[in-house]
Structure 1
Amino acid sequence: MADPTTLQGLQFPSTLVGKKILLATESWGPVNGVSRTTRSLVEYLRDNGADLILVAPSFKGNSKQASWELRLPGCALPYNPDLTVVYPFHLDDVFNNSFRPDLIYLASPASLGFQMLLQIRQLRSPPPILLNFQTDLSAYAEIMLPAPLDHFGVWLLASVQGFLFRTNAVHTIFYPCSAIRRYLEHARAPVDRLVQLGRGVDTGLFSPTLRDGSFRRQIAPNGEVVLICVCRIAPEKGFEFLAQVAQRLAAEKVLFKLLIVGGNRNPAVENKVQRLFDDVRDHVVFTGFLAGTALSRAYASADLFLHCSITETFGLVVLEAMASGVPVIARDQGGPSDIIRHGQTGYLVPPRDLESFVHLVRDVAGDSRRRTSLAVAARQYANDTTWEKINCRAAWHMVEALSHTDQESQVPREVVRPGVIASFFEQLRLILAVGLVYFMWLISVVPLLVHGNRFLPRAWQAVQGQFQDTRPLRS
């Protein structure tokens, strides 16, 4: 699909001013890559005059919400309370509590987005839809589910996603990296609707100028090299691998401090991660959640960023580290493979090659001139990747979707009744779609919630087993 911004530059499209946009996202409250990406787009659209309603799951602690937010109830996942599985709902109720949208944007569709897509398929005159595929659910299933459920989970998710993404109303499917494009093609998503859309970075907030000598002395009082890892504390984030890196570095007498920034609202998960580092406790500092200038200072005060997750569709933290003037060493899987310029802004290591990863960390940590050269190139790369450019591209694709829909429509949009239900048969189809959602809840989601934290030990066993497994990862 052609990029409409190539002819339009970086100017916000006036066509979107006053347009009713319903943006549904699975992650809005807690700080993570998906929520930061979505929040940036929401602010961009609202600041430029779009009439936007945000639909998101309720989560623990979200007592404050804006007038333009619509929260849907659901169940928080026991092993990750930041994520909520939305209860079955009727699309008519969503529209009646917001508006009949001109356009729908689904960020990382899952429990909320899948239900919307299923019901939108039943509408006679649906608004155009844009999807942003930011979370590879099948990769999580592959890592966290025990065999043979892992293969079944991957197949089931690919089948559901491929079916829903072929909905006629879907105009654009944004994807973050080449590995995800291959997955979407395998899932039989329509290739003519795929558009690569990366993520931006705030180069003012994340900057080498925020390097703080006193903070470094607090973390590394003996002049140790400061390594940093920023991510949500969860079993799929590669902590088993990172712990083994730290143990090898300590055994080789490398003078280092490892700063781990992030948290999890489930204390059992955090404790499980921290116990992995018991043998190198003197080398590791857990900061918990950081945001704003505290997060920026932590990035900029480090010498080297270690990225050990292999489930990232993009890896926003990698770009934030590069903007902070910190070179990155990452496992060559998923989004970071498209961001890092090997040997120029950082290094990519085969996902299971612990020996090479440790070797690179040791060599780069001990070579300040090499780190400086990498840091300068990393910052230059980040300067060309701003949120303004990314969000403007998304906005112009929205205009293209609206234009395409208006050309195909037999009925002018302004005369379509604001109510969703246009006929008895349309209402019947919607009822059946909601019934199917309830059925899927009964056979898949409810057992997961009932088992709760019983799932967590299995997830860790799966992660550890996968690390020891020598089979190549799914691309």
Structure 2
Amino acid sequence: MASTSLIGSGQYPEHDLSEFPAALKGKRILLCTESFGPVNGVSRTTLMLVNHLRDHGVQVAVVAPHNHTNHNTFSPPPSPSLSPADKQPEVRVTGYPLPFNPELSIVYPVRNSTLYSRTFGNDAPPDLIYLASPASLGFQVMLQLRQQPKEKQIPIICNFQTDLAGYCSILFPAPLSHAAVFAFDAVQSYLFRHSSIKTIFYPSRFVRRYLENQKVQSSKLEVLTRGVNTTMFNPSRRSEALRKEIAPNGEIIFVTVSRIAGEKGFDFLAKVAKEMDARRLPFKMVIVGGNRNPDVEKEVQELFDPLREKGTVTFAGFKVGEDLATYYACGDVFLHCSVTETFGLVVLESMASGVPVVARDEGGPSDIIAHEETGYLVPPDDLDGFVAKAVKLAEDHQLRFTMAKDARVAACEATWEKINNKVAWRMADTIARRELEQGKLPQPTKAVTTTAQQLVPVYGWLMMNNALRETVTRSIVDARLVGGLGVILSFWVITGAYVVFTEGLLWAKGRVRKAAPTK
């Protein structure tokens, strides 16, 4: 690895992605993620990266919120090439579960120094911090780190995988949605543009445009698609017994795999199902997924009445592993109606299973599906067009067969090994660059490490250290940092409003259901 060229060129070199960087072995990586376990596409992607790094001898410490669902928790094994003395823990931090998605939490304030001491120890800070889909935990880490003197700023790599602003625009009513979108835009723009953020991986052109609109430097942006386990998700998983159970009269089977939530486009999918039923198309629709909040799941299911009551639409619940792969492969056509996906891993898993896709042309799926080759992309609000493409695939067996074969071939080009190696190389290059820069920087004096730049920063992150009294008595004011605190506090205000609003809404709907007369 020609690390000397990194400083002079200002660019990272090209690497053979079939090879893992040997220089990364033994390095300490602090990986912070907003969810950890096989509960969603982001979590599964993160798990694969952790396993890949540990398999190659990298010390990876994982920090994630507690799992409030007591379901689908998962702890990856430690690296087989490192001794047990090497710390590779999984640290769970406390937070408040989101009402519409209890698998995610708003993490309570926590200091970076606490994370360091609980992972690699006080005397061995991480060589690099990796933030998977940063939100409440990742924002805290970034904010605190930028307040440190430059020589103490551990480099950060982010993987932008969740469109928080997009979710807010769907979940909140106006004008709260506008305030929420503004807050998330401001927070992400403020944090991502700082020099401590070395690389931001993005999964699709849709996300890149969003980040550039938030004034994030283009030089930091690097595309990182997703891989798929083509052994697990494979047409060979097709089960005639399951197909007979789903569609006993040989109906066409439409499959959807998604977390059951309002922002996933189920209102659109319900309209699609009802329109296909009105056209007397013989079909069955299977929706795989769930939500730990039963009120949310019930609300989505009711969108499909009376088709659900007739058995035309069924909800299969959560499926993982081979069971999930079997449901994919048993479908004839995969329907994807979400417009908030930054990538859409389920689309790639469906293609690997030999099932063509009809999707709304918004977000990540637009970069995955080759229109009219591996599936169809339809304008987001074109209900008639979406139904027409779904019906066309349902009625044309030869077209469906050809697209299924092409979808499988395209998915097999996306291997997790090369994608995770790309992350590993960027980690190795970033660490090498920092080591070179540190060699050129003078050692800080005691006076430097106690300046206002270190102490004023958000006043010890909401009074979590003893520097508050000292900084207040000195009357040190840094307008830029105070502004940063204001931006972050706006995030917490909007998040609090979200919790209050959704908890109240769910309570009210529950009361209405109880008061409604039973049929």
Same fold (TM over 0.5): yes
The structure 1 residue matched to 2:434, chosen from 405, 417, 427, is 405
The structure 1 residue matched to 2:127, chosen from 91, 102, 108, is 102
SS in structure 2 opposite 1:257?
A: strand
Structure 2 unmatched runs, 5+: 1-9, 77-87, 463-484, 510-519
Structure 1 unmatched runs, 5+: 460-475
* Alpha carbons 1:208, 1:324 under 8 Å: kept: yes
The structure 2 residue matched to 1:154, chosen from 176, 181, 185, is 181
> Which residue does 1:169 correspond to in 2?
196
> Which residue does 2:303 correspond to in 1?
276
Q: Say if 1:232 and 1:442 are closer, same or farther in 2 by CA, change over 3 A.
A: closer
Are positions 1:444 and 2:471 aligned together?
Answer: no
The structure 2 residue matched to 1:33, chosen from 10, 16, 41, is 41
> Which residue does 2:93 correspond to in 1?
72
Moved more, 119-128 or 444-453: 444-453
Q: Using the alignment, how far apart are the partners of 1:444 and 1:361 within structure 2?
A: 39
Q: Using the alignment, how far apart are the partners of 2:37 and 2:299 within structure 1?
A: 24
Structure 1 residue 7 displacement after superposition: 3.2
Q: Using the alignment, how far apart are the partners of 2:207 and 2:15 within structure 1?
A: 27
Deviations 1:204-240 (A, max 9, x none): 0000011110110010000001100000000000000
> Which residue does 1:129 correspond to in 2?
156
> Which residue does 1:55 correspond to in 2?
63
Are positions 1:111 and 2:132 aligned together?
Answer: no
Q: Using the alignment, how far apart are the partners of 2:280 and 2:408 within structure 1?
A: 30
SS in structure 2 opposite 1:7?
A: coil
* Alpha carbons 1:144, 1:458 under 8 Å: kept: no
Q: Which residue identity lines up with residue 9 of structure 1 in the other structure? A: L
Q: Say if 1:64 and 1:189 are closer, same or farther in 2 by CA, change over 3 A.
A: closer
> Which residue does 1:228 correspond to in 2?
255
* Alpha carbons 2:179, 2:494 under 8 Å: kept: no
> Which residue does 1:302 correspond to in 2?
331
Are positions 1:428 and 2:448 aligned together?
Answer: no
Q: Using the alignment, how far apart are the partners of 2:138 and 2:269 within structure 1?
A: 33
Structure 1 residue 31 displacement after superposition: 1.3
Q: Say if 1:321 and 1:94 are closer, same or farther in 2 by CA, change over 3 A.
A: same
> Which residue does 1:468 correspond to in 2?
none
Q: Using the alignment, how far apart are the partners of 1:233 and 1:369 within structure 2?
A: 32
Structure 1 residue 128 displacement after superposition: 1.1
Q: Using the alignment, how far apart are the partners of 1:150 and 1:267 within structure 2?
A: 24
Are positions 1:189 and 2:216 aligned together?
Answer: yes
Aligned length: 454
Deviations 1:441-475 (A, max 9, x none): 7633334334442245999xxxxxxxxxxxxxxxx
Q: Using the alignment, how far apart are the partners of 1:337 and 1:443 within structure 2?
A: 33
Q: Which residue identity lines up with residue 354 of structure 1 in the other structure? A: L
The structure 2 residue matched to 1:261, chosen from 288, 293, 296, is 288
Q: Using the alignment, how far apart are the partners of 1:34 and 1:235 within structure 2?
A: 18
The structure 1 residue matched to 2:31, chosen from 23, 29, 33, is 23
Structure 1 residue 160 displacement after superposition: 1.0
Q: Which residue identity lines up with residue 51 of structure 1 in the other structure? A: Q
- TM-score normalised to the size of structure 2? 0.83
Q: Which residue identity lines up with residue 315 of structure 1 in the other structure? A: G
> Which residue does 1:83 correspond to in 2?
104
Deviations 1:105-160 (A, max 9, x none): 00100000000000000112211110000001111111111112222222221111
Structure 1 residue 285 displacement after superposition: 1.3
Find the structure with the greater CA-based Rg.
2
SS in structure 1 opposite 2:287?
A: strand
> Which residue does 1:331 correspond to in 2?
360
Q: Using the alignment, how far apart are the partners of 1:3 and 1:239 within structure 2?
A: 42
Q: Using the alignment, how far apart are the partners of 2:259 and 2:444 within structure 1?
A: 44
Q: Say if 1:30 and 1:81 are closer, same or farther in 2 by CA, change over 3 A.
A: farther
* Alpha carbons 2:187, 2:491 under 8 Å: kept: no
Q: Using the alignment, how far apart are the partners of 2:368 and 2:133 within structure 1?
A: 20
